[in-house]
Amino acid sequence: MQTIRRSKRAIIGDFPVVAIERLSLLDYPGKLCANLIAPGCNFRCPYCLNENLILDFLTMDKITEDQVIEFLHPRIGFLDGVCITGGEPTIHNELSAFLTRLKSIGAMVKLDTNGSYPRRLEYYLDKRLVDYIALDIKVPLNRYQKTVKYHITPEVILDSIKLIRRSHLDYEFRTTVVPGILDGGDILEIAKTLSGSKRYVLQGFRPGATLSMEYRGIEPYSEAEMLQFRDMVAPFFGEVKLRM
C-alpha cells in the first residue's frame, strides 16, 4: 500500500480515495497500473470482503486528489495508468471531474463498477474518460435485487451491459462464483445474457471477513470445478479467463 499522508479532513469536491496500491500487474490486463481504492457502495452483497469500505467509510481518512496526482504524475511512463476500484466508484458525483484530471496527466484509466449507474457510465464513455471497464455481474439478472439488497431492476444492469458492448473500449464482464449463491446453471444463464461479449472472467471466491457471517466459512469451488464452469461458457465469448 502507498504510505502517503492522508488528509484528516474531507476535501469538498474531491473524489474520495482511501488507499493507493503502488503497483499491480493483474488488475489492468496488459498494463502496469496503480490501484486507487474508493470507499462506499450501494450494494450489500453478503459475500463482499470489503466491509470496512462499505460500512465505515465516512470516518476513514482520505487521500486528497492533489496527493493522488502528485503521486501519479511523475510515474506515468513507468506506470501505464490507474485502476479505480472500491467499493463502487460511480456512486460519487466527483468521479467525472477526477477522471478528467487523470486523463490530463496522460493516464490510462480502468474503471471497476457494478453497473448500477448506466447514465454515468454513458457520460464517461461519451467524454472518453475511461479506457477499460470491468463490470461485475453478480447473479442472473432476475435475482439481482434479492442478492445485492438494493432496489435495482434487471433493465438497469442490461443498460450498462449494452453501453459497454457498444463502446469501442476494451472491457470485461466478470463474476465471482460463490457456492450457495451460484451454481453451474446460474453461470450458464449469465453467459447467455452476455453471449457474444469480448471477454468474461470467472473469479474464485475467497472466504474471509465477509459482510454476512453466513459466508465466512464457506468452502470455495475447487479449481477443477471452476475449470468446468470456464469450459462450459467458453463458446459464448471471445475469451474466458479464470482467476483463482
pLDDT in tens, the chain (244 residues): 444 445 444 455 799 999 999 999 999 999 999 999 999 999 999 999 988 888 877 788 999 999 999 999 999 999 999 999 999 999 999 999 999 999 999 999 999 999 999 999 999 999 999 999 999 999 999 999 999 999 999 999 999 999 999 998 999 999 999 999 999 999 999 999 999 999 999 999 998 889 999 999 899 999 999 999 999 999 999 999 999 9
Cell numbers representing residue 214 in the block: 453466513
| Domain assignment present for 6 | no
Q: For residue 12, what pLDDT is reported?
A: 54
Q: For residue 4, what pLDDT is reported?
A: 46
Cα–Cα distance list, 142 to 19, 133, 138, 199 (Å): 34, 23, 11, 22
User: 18: closest CA among 56, 46, 47, 48?
Assistant: 56
Cell numbers representing residue 227 in the block: 475449470
| Domain assignment present for 172 | yes
Q: pTM value?
A: 0.93
Say if CB 107 and CB 132 are below 8 A apart.
no
CATH assignment of the domain containing 151 = 3.20.20.70
Q: Where are the alpha helices (DSSP H) in the chain?
A: 51-55, 65-72, 95-104, 118-126, 144-148, 154-166, 184-193, 223-233
The single residue listed with the C-alpha cell 439478472 is 141
| Domain assignment present for 14 | no
| Domain assignment present for 9 | no
| SS3 label, residue 217 | coil
| Domain assignment present for 150 | yes
| Domain assignment present for 69 | yes
Strands (E), the chain: 19-24, 33-37, 81-85, 108-113, 132-136, 170-177, 199-204, 239-243
| Domain assignment present for 178 | yes
Cell numbers representing residue 16 in the block: 474520495
* φ, ψ for residue 79, nearest 5 deg: -85, 140
Residue numbers of the domain that contains 36? 19-243
Q: For residue 65, what pLDDT is reported?
A: 96
Q: For residue 8, what pLDDT is reported?
A: 42
Total domains present in the chain: 1
